[in-house]
Structure 1
């Protein structure tokens, strides 16, 4: 789709009375789907509607009975990460009067809620983008805050699976309108920030159970339910997060045509945004250690620190036993080895940051639906455009935009860290539009990259200086060589300790470390050696050696 403005056709031409955007037998089968699917990770606590949302998205594509299991109560029905492919055109829906055969116009919300299939039918508009077919891969996950599971272990399993994907386009967090935002969401978001920094600012919050009956009750009290929900989110998160919010009924009453059309249009708006999200690299995902993991690490570190002490004592004794000139050589070589280890860490960090891969800076959404228009029709002024802006702490490289039917992004202006545009809509239309902002890892971490490069250059010069100081000195004898080998062992052990001490680890290591972290018994010496072997086989050999 690219980074240009996405405009859906405003034509009200209908494809038929059945609310199905894809007709497999139509001429649209000639439209070639995009080569790679949009991979979408769906997260949320148990009993908030993740699987139901996936099922309804399946209904949107024309599958009336998607094979998605739905849980009940506080036990998650989804026990493992599951993948659900969708292939669909994108189109919005409207209600058609069964008597006149014409689209319903300016009917009050109260009347629409009470309509039956005798009063109106749901009809699909003409597909967007000339019937282009989009492929999505929805990744369902076990529910968090599950009475039958461990959240940190569940997240570790999820992110480990995500790290195996070729790419990830978006992450959805599902939250029922029946559940307030609180500490559990803050804890979840902080975890995502640490483990998936390239996409955490682009998290999409989908509020489920946003039923027409619920909206009707709010309208009767002059309440903008969506605005109220966003404000409660900002209050719960102390205004620290500006994320995209979508409101939809994920399980509509199929006997109510208005409920069905609102739900399908909610699916349309969500998929429309997802279809603009860029592919993000998943090769550097990290896992944040839970308290129980830190406790397991403590046993491993204790064994390694004992080994470290033994090696340090033997090394000190070896250096002390050497003559003065040989002792100086050994200390200089020790310093070179230490500096080389620092260079390795610096290079590893640079390889992680100095890359031209995309990072999400944030998303801006404008959503003023039928419910808001009800309030406006009662005397408030309706404006047909909204000025939207986004400011970042680093330069914006790409902007991916989507719009609802009849809406257009106009007067777009991107200048460094600032973006401005106007979303325009026809009068009495719902106003829908989203813009997601991207930069690159290089630009996002420019300051740190320059610091690391300077440090690397200085380290290189220092190593060269020490190596030059060793030129012309005599060779070490066998005993001194043994002492130097002890120094290498000590450095290797110290490096392994520093890796295990970190509060995150590579997601790719989870399948190998899982058995140790989920065990509820004290690790044996064999367990410790096997654990350390995951990080460094040679250090593991030192643990079990003489």
Structure 2
């Protein structure tokens, strides 16, 4: 077996995620416990929780063979006139069969993670997002092979517009797992051959003269390539990122066997693209809170700030009654605890960034943005030769970047791979077999450590200073407590001095817009968010704050908060 791919599929409800999964499943050997995905009827989301579909995919393209003479039938997607008018409806399951091109294809293990549909009408996006993130956390704890994501895939209907909610979803996941978005794939489902034909007819009319006949023959791109390019350019305009787009009909007509062949080969292309991406450790994911989650937690933070204010007032009174050593000792306690909390938070952030896992900057492709010039197209048509061209990659903002040039398809190949003298520009020459458009990928990446170099250096500097300050504060505590003249510190003042930094730490945690995947969201957090989703913000109560403190192991703080806040409730 070649390896394992963990693929996260996300997208709006009723856009074909489950149907897409089931089509891949038909081409694979699957685990006995891995049931098929439940497909919707177009009215409501069927996937309520994350579910894994584990299968062994055979990496091979397929061919169409005539049953009567056992000859392979040429089905070229680039020669659309031949495809639509001589092959598509004339070759059926009665007279043709589909066979794999390779007798013993490579096998790759797929773990497709189906997620609840987002952008749905039931207002449960926050719950669904939390479910996805916590599922990934659980997955990372299983063991080797489960602790990474290979790719993130947007699954959308080919007719679905890029809505505002979809843009918010994109931005959310990009903040959670930025390194995966350099190789983002958009799978456009429900793209039937019938729709393809309609676009073909609208783009190219039947020629009426020799000039038009030649013009038709040398048209650089197929209708399908043009559709993909337009969608890709629209995505780039709206999202600011050039994602790779695939078009697929997940439910081809069984009788019109050419449709099934095209679908199988498109799935092969998609899986190959996934396999080309750099895996990202799940531990590198940030669990970003949604706007609603932040609003909920800000209410709890407000109660905490109120309690802190009352405790600070009491502290002021006790400090006035204390001697100088007691006041100094109190300040040193608070200082050390505050620094320790800051240190812990910086370590969490550093753990996400400071590692050698690969950060995918972007994945370049020679198609469908490959735009063949008219002279090259004419030459290809005239002499039936192959397309040859080159792709240059330059990343001035990321010195030290690497390029992995991949031969994803059997009819395309890289011919040369060269760096310039300063290794700032990479150029790859490529070609395709005659009659084929070259489709090749080049993954540009850099290590996390290099990508986040400036941030990491800043964090390390602050961490070093913080450790020195903690050591100094603790030495001061030990010095003052060892003095013969020092009186025992007032127990209540000592308690408040220890509690106030705890309040600050929890306030910061509630107001921070992300958690590490290790911290995750506890059951208490999920219940709090669920309650508000059902009953609105007014359903929150001071008990939610107390339960939050308990979930963080701060029982002494919870008891003190009850004493301070409950009399006013």
Instruction: Tell me the TM-score normalised to structure 1 length.
Output: 0.83
Alignment: residue pair count: 509
The reply on whether 1:425 has 2:432 as its aligned counterpart is: yes
> CA separation of 1:155/1:328 partners in 2, compared to 1, >3 Å: closer, same or farther?
closer
C-alpha distance after superposition, 1:188-236 (max 9, x if no partner): 1101012222323322111112222222222222373443444344335
Mapped contact 1:92–1:265 kept (Cα < 8 A): yes
The equivalent position to 1:408 in structure 2, one of 401, 408, 413, is 413
Match of 2:48 in 1: 79
Match of 1:271 in 2: 271
How far did residue 471 of structure 1 move?
7.5
The reply on whether 1:234 has 2:233 as its aligned counterpart is: yes
How far, CA to CA, are the matches of 1:138 and 1:324 in structure 2? 64
Mapped contact 1:60–1:267 kept (Cα < 8 A): no
C-alpha distance after superposition, 1:344-385 (max 9, x if no partner): 33333222221222332222223359x999x99788767523
The equivalent position to 2:198 in structure 1, one of 170, 193, 217, is 217
C-alpha distance after superposition, 1:240-263 (max 9, x if no partner): 102122122211111112111110
> CA separation of 1:391/1:321 partners in 2, compared to 1, >3 Å: closer, same or farther?
farther
1:514-529 to 2 correspondence within 5 Å? 514-519=526-531, 520-521=534-535, 522-529=539-546
Match of 2:390 in 1: 387
> CA separation of 1:506/1:466 partners in 2, compared to 1, >3 Å: closer, same or farther?
closer
Match of 1:486 in 2: 496
Q: Which shows bigger deviation, 388-397 or 89-98?
A: 388-397
How far did residue 286 of structure 1 move?
3.1
1:176-325 to 2 correspondence within 5 Å? 176-220=157-201, 221-222=203-204, 224-238=223-237, 240-325=240-325
Q: Which shows bigger deviation, 301-310 or 223-232?
A: 223-232
How far, CA to CA, are the matches of 2:107 and 2:394 in structure 1? 33
How far, CA to CA, are the matches of 1:227 and 1:43 in structure 2? 25
> CA separation of 1:147/1:372 partners in 2, compared to 1, >3 Å: closer, same or farther?
farther
C-alpha distance after superposition, 1:328-357 (max 9, x if no partner): 444345434433433333333222221222
How far, CA to CA, are the matches of 2:35 and 2:345 in structure 1? 48
3-state secondary structure, aligned to 2:390:
strand
3-state secondary structure, aligned to 2:54:
strand
How far, CA to CA, are the matches of 2:339 and 2:158 in structure 1? 55
Structure 2: give runs of 5+ residues left out of the alignment. Answer: 140-146, 205-221, 565-569
How far, CA to CA, are the matches of 1:472 and 1:298 in structure 2? 39
Match of 1:109 in 2: 83
Mapped contact 1:43–1:141 kept (Cα < 8 A): yes
The reply on whether 1:435 has 2:442 as its aligned counterpart is: yes
Q: Which shows bigger deviation, 520-529 or 419-428?
A: 520-529
How far did residue 492 of structure 1 move?
0.7
The equivalent position to 2:111 in structure 1, one of 126, 131, 137, is 137
The equivalent position to 1:502 in structure 2, one of 503, 512, 523, is 512
How far, CA to CA, are the matches of 1:389 and 1:377 in structure 2? 21
The equivalent position to 1:459 in structure 2, one of 466, 473, 494, is 466
> CA separation of 1:368/1:234 partners in 2, compared to 1, >3 Å: closer, same or farther?
closer
The reply on whether 1:121 has 2:97 as its aligned counterpart is: yes
> CA separation of 1:75/1:532 partners in 2, compared to 1, >3 Å: closer, same or farther?
same
How far, CA to CA, are the matches of 1:525 and 1:66 in structure 2? 43
How far did residue 62 of structure 1 move?
6.6
Mapped contact 2:61–2:268 kept (Cα < 8 A): yes
How far did residue 447 of structure 1 move?
0.6
Match of 2:61 in 1: 92
> CA separation of 1:389/1:242 partners in 2, compared to 1, >3 Å: closer, same or farther?
farther
3-state secondary structure, aligned to 1:367:
coil
How far did residue 400 of structure 1 move?
6.4
Q: Which shows bigger deviation, 427-436 or 461-470?
A: 461-470
Pick the structure with more helix per residue.
2
1:335-414 to 2 correspondence within 5 Å? 335-367=335-367, 384-392=387-395, 393-394=397-398, 395-397=400-402, 399=404, 401-413=406-418
How far, CA to CA, are the matches of 1:533 and 1:227 in structure 2? 58
How far, CA to CA, are the matches of 1:141 and 1:362 in structure 2? 25
How far, CA to CA, are the matches of 1:447 and 1:408 in structure 2? 38
Q: Which shows bigger deviation, 404-413 or 230-239?
A: 230-239
How far, CA to CA, are the matches of 1:304 and 1:471 in structure 2? 30
How far, CA to CA, are the matches of 1:314 and 1:516 in structure 2? 31
Tell me how large the CA RMSD over aligned residues is: 3.2
The equivalent position to 2:11 in structure 1, one of 36, 44, 55, is 44
How far, CA to CA, are the matches of 2:440 and 2:323 in structure 1? 76
Match of 2:560 in 1: 542
Mapped contact 1:396–1:418 kept (Cα < 8 A): no
3-state secondary structure, aligned to 1:497:
helix
How far, CA to CA, are the matches of 1:339 and 1:285 in structure 2? 25
Q: Which shows bigger deviation, 334-343 or 43-52?
A: 334-343
C-alpha distance after superposition, 1:475-531 (max 9, x if no partner): 642334642332111001111111011122345325441111011442333332112
Match of 2:219 in 1: none
The equivalent position to 1:163 in structure 2, one of 126, 131, 137, is 137
How far did residue 176 of structure 1 move?
1.3
The equivalent position to 1:530 in structure 2, one of 547, 564, 569, is 547
Mapped contact 2:157–2:188 kept (Cα < 8 A): yes
Mapped contact 1:43–1:174 kept (Cα < 8 A): yes
How far, CA to CA, are the matches of 1:149 and 1:468 in structure 2? 53
> CA separation of 1:139/1:347 partners in 2, compared to 1, >3 Å: closer, same or farther?
closer
Match of 2:217 in 1: none
> CA separation of 1:543/1:115 partners in 2, compared to 1, >3 Å: closer, same or farther?
farther
Mapped contact 1:59–1:66 kept (Cα < 8 A): no
> CA separation of 1:288/1:417 partners in 2, compared to 1, >3 Å: closer, same or farther?
farther
Match of 1:151 in 2: 125
